[in-house]
Chain A
Amino acid sequence: MRYINHEEVAVRTKKRLTKNTLLKGVFAAATAFGLIVLAILLYRIITQGSGYLSLDFFTSFASRIPEDSGIRAAIAGSIYLMLVVAPVSMFLGVGTAIYLEEYATKNKFNDLIKVNISNLAGVPSVVFGLLGLTIFVRFFDLGISILAAGLTMSLLILPIIIVASQEAIRAVPNELREASFAMGATKWQTILRVVLPASIPGILTGSILALSRAIGETAPLVVIGIPTILFFMPEGIMSTFTALPMQIFDWTKRPQVEFHDVAAAGIIVLMALLIIMNSIAVFIRNKYQKRY
């Protein structure tokens, strides 16, 4: 005697199994969609821009003629910008993270700081531009300078660095701290010599990712009023400058189609920079991240 009627079961489950297979395909297609778009985006930009990518492109300034246009001022401006953003945002971000993870007791004010950081992360970048324009450019009278733009960008990426550093510091096991205390070290000595060295890979990884975000950001620079066409190199942090995304924005807006190809060439450089920075971040994470 058979307890299970296999034919009957097969008939009944067939529909449900077909539906399962069908929708699995749909879900897989949705996943593939994102990947395909990314591939098309990269392919388009490389084929469109590679023709303009030459040594001259890096060494010449912007021009009215597409063939003569280059990103010399923009590249220099972006690098100068990072020279301000990296130390300022990391100092503020890591400092805040140490305070929140090592010193902050649970009270209303510290809760406020935490809630505030997560809300700050959701503020659109264009609003940060308005902040920079009002406070740094006008109120502190820094002008449309590398310093004003750098401070604005630093505040923009601050939440990312804080959260990444917090996670890195939290991942340091308490045994390490206790061992340090047991040797007679003070709290700050423990943080400086035990906790920070152990969490540096995580902090660096998060900071590099945040900086790569800052390199690509355009909206705050536009709102501050950074010019797009400059024929000189920045001289110091109070100097006016232009940045890579601003230059790309300018070329994209132009009606002549040739400038779109120049924009694509600029995008190749920008994306290459981002990929290099991301690879460094991944490398640091894989090489130095210890598991306790």
Chain B
Amino acid sequence: MAMNEPKQISVQELIAQKSNRGLLAFTEKLIPKLLLAIAVVSVLTTIGIVFTLIFETITFFTQVNIFDFLTGTEWYPFANSTPTYGILPLIVGTLKITIIATLVAGPIGIATAIYLSEYASDRVRRIVKPVLEVLAGVPTIVYGFFALTFVTPILRSVFPEIAIFNAVSPGIVVGIMIIPMIASLSEDAMSSVPNAMRDGAYALGATKLEVALKIVLPAALSGIVASTVLAISRAIGETMIVAVAAGSTPGFNWDVTGSIQTMTAYIVQVTTGDAGYGTTIYYSIYAVGFTLFIFTLLMNMLAQFISKRFREEY
């Protein structure tokens, strides 16, 4: 017995010995590091976005006063004699589109969510929800075309004072684009409200409407608000619809019937034109892009905060 003892190795040790040798062990150690490197690409992308925006924006501010940029109410970069760079008109243009889009998509989206979650049968929901989501998948250039060639002419036949390029038509169409976002995410939030709560209300004699508005809606409110904020963020960053149908006249007013310009549309206008590399106009698209980035980032973080902080767990 004593002779055999030194040679006795447990199975675990054998496995450990074998798996620490050779190519197999090497691969096992290498792969996680390789995958980590791949995962880091997404972080690098964010860093890349932030740094390019910051660097080029700083260059822009060596040529244009930052105070004038933030408070100026005139945006005429293409003026020959004295170009002015006040971003407020672009922000106002963006807000016009965003507000109109929210006014369209908010009520319709939430009403759709209530219908799908509370009234519709399983079969209707299974068909309608994916079909609605097709709306979100339509390329924005197609929506831009639709706004310019269909919605604007209809609007102009009802209200003749509306210009060909205006804020109303792209605003409505951006709203249509974000309906499925609000509807789908809100429906998810409403569906996760437990049935016991509905049954409690029914037992007290409530109608379906009362259950929907007084029980389900408040219980799912954080999800609904978060989805709406997310959709608003999408509307702020929407580019092609406004580039095609909103025109290119930045103005510091609240008129929605005339041509406007948004932050995104300005970037498109400059990059499709021929502003040379290194000119003030070239750098201005980064300053505008940075402003846009901050707006959407704040909205996205707000949406995440709302859905985390105010989520009701059942």
Contact = CB atoms under 8 A, between A and B. Distances in A.
Interface stretch (B32-40, B79-87, B192-200, B220-228): B32-40
A219 B108 contact: no
A193 interface: no
Given A20-B207, A34-B176, A219-B264, A116 B42 contact: yes
Interface in A124-145: 124-131, 133-135, 138
Given A31-B112, A38-B134, A124-B237, A267 B145 contact: yes
Contact of A188 (B15, B28, B120, B233): B28
Given A186-B24, A252-B244, A216 B38 contact: no
A55 interface: no
B112 A34 contact: yes
Contact of A155 (B28, B45, B116, B240): B45
A24 B111 contact: no
A24 B208 contact: yes
B230 interface: yes
B28 A119 contact: no
Interface stretch (A65-73, A92-100, A198-206, A229-237): A92-100
Nearest to A222: B268
B141 A245 contact: yes
A290 interface: no
A30 to B, nearest CB: 3
Contacts of A104: 39
Interface string B81-101: 000000000000000000000
B53 interface: yes
Contact of B230 (A122, A252, A278): A122
A96 B42 contact: yes
Interface string B229-254: 01001101111100110000000000
B289 A188 contact: no
B138 A20 contact: no
A98 B238 CA distance: 32
A213 B279 CA distance: 33
Contacts of B296: 122-124, 127
A99 B32 contact: yes
B195 to A, nearest CB: 19
Interface residues on B, range: 35 or more
Contacts of B107: 30
B145 A248 contact: yes
B86 to A, nearest CB: 21
B141 A126 contact: no
A209 B134 CA distance: 11
A33 interface: yes
B115 A120 contact: no
B183 interface: yes
Contacts of B285: 130, 223
A98 B37 CA distance: 12
A183 interface: no
Contacts of B114: 27
A40 B237 CA distance: 25
Given A124-B292, A223-B268, A249 B111 contact: no
Given A95-B39, A263-B145, A223 B271 contact: yes
Contact of A248 (B115, B131, B141, B272): B141
A182 interface: no
Contacts of B45: 120, 131, 155, 158
B121 to A, nearest CB: 12
Contacts of B230: 122
A26 B239 contact: no
Interface string A232-256: 0000000000000100110011000
A176 B104 CA distance: 48
B289 A130 contact: yes
B135 A34 contact: yes
A184 B267 CA distance: 57
Contact of B140 (A13, A27, A28, A216): A216
B56 A134 contact: yes
Interface in A259-289: 260, 263-264, 267, 270-271, 274, 278
A187 B41 CA distance: 23
A53 to B, nearest CB: 16
A38 B146 CA distance: 11
A41 B138 contact: yes
The 9 A-B pairs at the shortest CB distance, nearest first, are namely: A124-B237, A216-B139, A95-B38, A30-B111, A122-B300, A27-B115, A99-B35, A219-B239, A20-B209
20 contacts: A31-B112, A33-B112, A34-B132, A38-B134, A41-B138, A45-B145, A118-B300, A119-B46, A123-B49, A126-B237, A127-B237, A127-B292, A158-B45, A215-B139, A218-B139, A222-B243, A223-B268, A249-B144, A249-B244, A270-B142
Given A20-B208, A95-B39, A131-B49, 4 more contacts: A113-B40, A130-B285, A245-B141, A248-B145
